[in-house]
């Protein structure tokens, strides 16, 4: 197997998820409910089912003494570091929610090849999940141990990526004699075995890298010319690695699933029921929107932002970190807001009179104690306090991260107009407590057929939508490139949304029940 070139920016992969870090597995105690405790193993790499062997006897029901072990391979969509003490990613959150729903203990063990280790974790119920791809017709036949698979929770495509400073291939005929890399332990490898056999003119390279992001980073920096990755993972890091593009789709649609040992049909059925319920109550769609829907930053803008991270952010970072210490608002979020507002120019002044690093109005500055808007430290601290106050004024039932995105919209347009948009969402039978719903109704505040019936009237509601999307894009880049503050105060009270509840009347936002 070919060794990979260095990949300097792939910090979190080597820091947290290399096989040697498995000993640092974290343990989470979740809610206690009356249900037998089961063992879960979550994984990203896939080893496909072999020819139909004799079926093993079903395992007995899990006992109270069982522990939950989750073998996870990191990835830009499945599992990654969000803050100093919390992970994020769609598979990470699904595992946490499933365990919480059934009152289970969770022990997360990072692994470079979880599926290979699935049978080595000992007896008991297990699940493998996280970047496991399976075709609609089933996995290719191999000599691997038999597996059971859950229903799909999302579908993706394998795509060829290329370095944009090189040649842009449009079909396989453009790749004759070229090297194309695959992540050696990725579940794409067995899925694409037929494709590799069909194109012997290509020099296929299987690289031993800790994550898909490491592979993408090497294409972006020119160490590799071409590679094949899943479409969702390419999209997840498009704003982080600026010098790669997507060439063409190389294979049919693949389903993202969880996998189980052949003896665990009962546990598979539990997961299928959990997935079905998550689809019905909207949880799955919210997670898909959060992790698989990314606002692209134009390459020129993103390049300028990356340059400013190196040249300007070091002089401002202490102001953002002090504000986090004082308010609990995550410093990288504050930095993302500041860049969107002023491009990190402490003396910026707009035609509307907002000034400083955080572009505060004179009224807001007076409300916060008459601070000097052109003083970077005062400006950042005032903005952090203002955002914290806006979050506090939202109903307590709104979970993170929707709470933060809604507060950001209020930061841009005012909480009164945000309230009008939330009421409109409710009238349209959308959730007034989720950003994905409210971002649809905010632009309606510019239309007379809608704003004439609102309490606070006309507003340029498209502006906060663009503002929040841009801040989220810059924040995502900073999360990938800059470490959290140590010790840190939480921006998000809990990155995992609690189970959906029925909306209740809340006096903090009049009119939204």
Which residues have a catalytic role annotated? Answer: 341
Spacing of C-alpha 73 from chain mean position: 14
What stretches of 398-496 show up as alpha helix (H) in DSSP? 402-413, 415-427, 435-441, 448-451, 462-481
Q: Is 429 left (phi over 0), alpha (psi -120 to 50) or beta?
A: left
CA dihedral 254, 45, 479, 10 (to 10 degrees): -120
Characterize the bridge pairing of strands 179-183 and 203-207: parallel
Dihedral sign from CA coordinates of 22, 28, 29, 33: negative
Contact 411/428 with Cβ under 8 angstroms?
Answer: no
Question: Residue 141 and residue 415: Cα distance in Å, rounded?
Answer: 57
CB contact set of 267 (below 8 Å; sequence gap of 6+)? 38, 62, 125, 126, 127, 260
Number of helices and strands in the chain (H, E): 19, 14
Contact 212/237 with Cβ under 8 angstroms?
Answer: no
Bridge partners of residue 79, in order along the sequence: 75
Measured N-to-C along each axis, helices 299-311 and 313-327 cross at an angle, to the nearest 10 degrees, of: 80
Burial class (CB in 10 A: 0-12, 13-18, 19+), 447: exposed
3-class secondary structure, 84 = coil
Residue 428: name the closest of 453, 408, 405, 407 by CA: 453
* DSSP result, 400-416: TTHHHHHHHHHHHH-HH
């Amino acid at each position: 197997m070919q060794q990979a070139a260095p990949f300097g920016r792939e910090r979190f992969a080597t820091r947290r998820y290399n096989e040697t870090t498995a000993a640092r597995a974290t343990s989470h105690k979740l809610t206690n409910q009356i249900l037998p405790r089961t063992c879960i193993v979550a994984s990203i790499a896939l080893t496909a089912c072999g020819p139909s062997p004799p079926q093993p006897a079903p395992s007995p029901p899990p006992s109270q003494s069982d522990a939950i072990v989750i073998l996870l391979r990191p990835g830009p969509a499945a599992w990654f570091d969000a803050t100093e003490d919390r992970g994020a990613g769609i598979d990470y959150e699904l595992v946490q929610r499933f365990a919480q729903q059934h009152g289970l203990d969770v022990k997360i063990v990072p692994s470079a090849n979880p599926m290979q280790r699935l049978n080595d974790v000992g007896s008991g119920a297990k699940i493998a999940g996280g970047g496991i791809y399976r075709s609609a017709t089933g996995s290719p036949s191999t000599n691997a141990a038999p597996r059971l698979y859950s229903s799909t929770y999302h579908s993706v495509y394998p795509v060829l990526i290329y370095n944009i400073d090189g040649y842009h291939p449009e079909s396989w005929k453009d790749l004759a004699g070229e090297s194309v890399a695959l992540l050696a332990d990725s579940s794409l490898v067995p899925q694409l075995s037929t494709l590799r056999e069909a194109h012997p003119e290509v020099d296929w390279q299987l690289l031993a890298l800790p994550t898909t992001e490491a592979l993408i980073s090497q294409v972006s920096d020119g160490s590799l010319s071409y590679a094949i990755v899943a479409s969702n993972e390419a999209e997840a890091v498009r704003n982080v690695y600026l010098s790669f593009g997507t060439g063409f789709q190389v294979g049919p649609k693949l389903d993202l699933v969880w996998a189980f040992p052949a003896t665990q049909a009962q546990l598979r059925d539990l997961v299928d029921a959990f997935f079905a319920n998550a689809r019905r109550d909207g949880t799955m769609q919210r997670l898909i929107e959060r992790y698989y829907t990314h606002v692209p930053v134009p390459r020129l803008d993103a390049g300028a932002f990356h340059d400013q991270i190196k040249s300007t952010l070091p002089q401002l970072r202490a102001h953002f970190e002090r504000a986090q210490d004082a308010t609990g608002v995550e410093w990288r979020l504050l930095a993302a807001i500041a860049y969107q507002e002023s491009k990190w120019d402490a003396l910026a002044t707009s035609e509307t009179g907002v000034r400083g690093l955080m572009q505060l109005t004179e009224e807001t500055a007076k409300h916060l104690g008459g601070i000097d808007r052109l003083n970077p430290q005062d400006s950042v601290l005032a903005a952090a306090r203002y955002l914290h106050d806006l979050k506090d004024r939202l109903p307590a039932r709104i979970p993170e991260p929707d709470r933060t995105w809604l507060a950001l919209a209020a930061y841009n347009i005012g909480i009164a107009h945000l309230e009008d948009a939330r009421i409109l969402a409710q009238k349209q039978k959308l959730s007034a407590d989720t950003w994905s719903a409210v971002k649809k109704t905010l632009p309606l505040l510019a239309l007379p057929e809608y704003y004439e019936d609102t309490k606070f009237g006309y507003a340029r509601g498209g502006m906060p939508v663009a503002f929040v999307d841009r801040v989220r894009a810059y924040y995502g880049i900073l999360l990938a490139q800059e470490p959290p503050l140590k010790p840190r105060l939480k921006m998000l009270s809990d990155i995992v949304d609690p189970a959906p509840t029925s909306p209740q009347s809340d006096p903090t936002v009049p009119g939204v029940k």
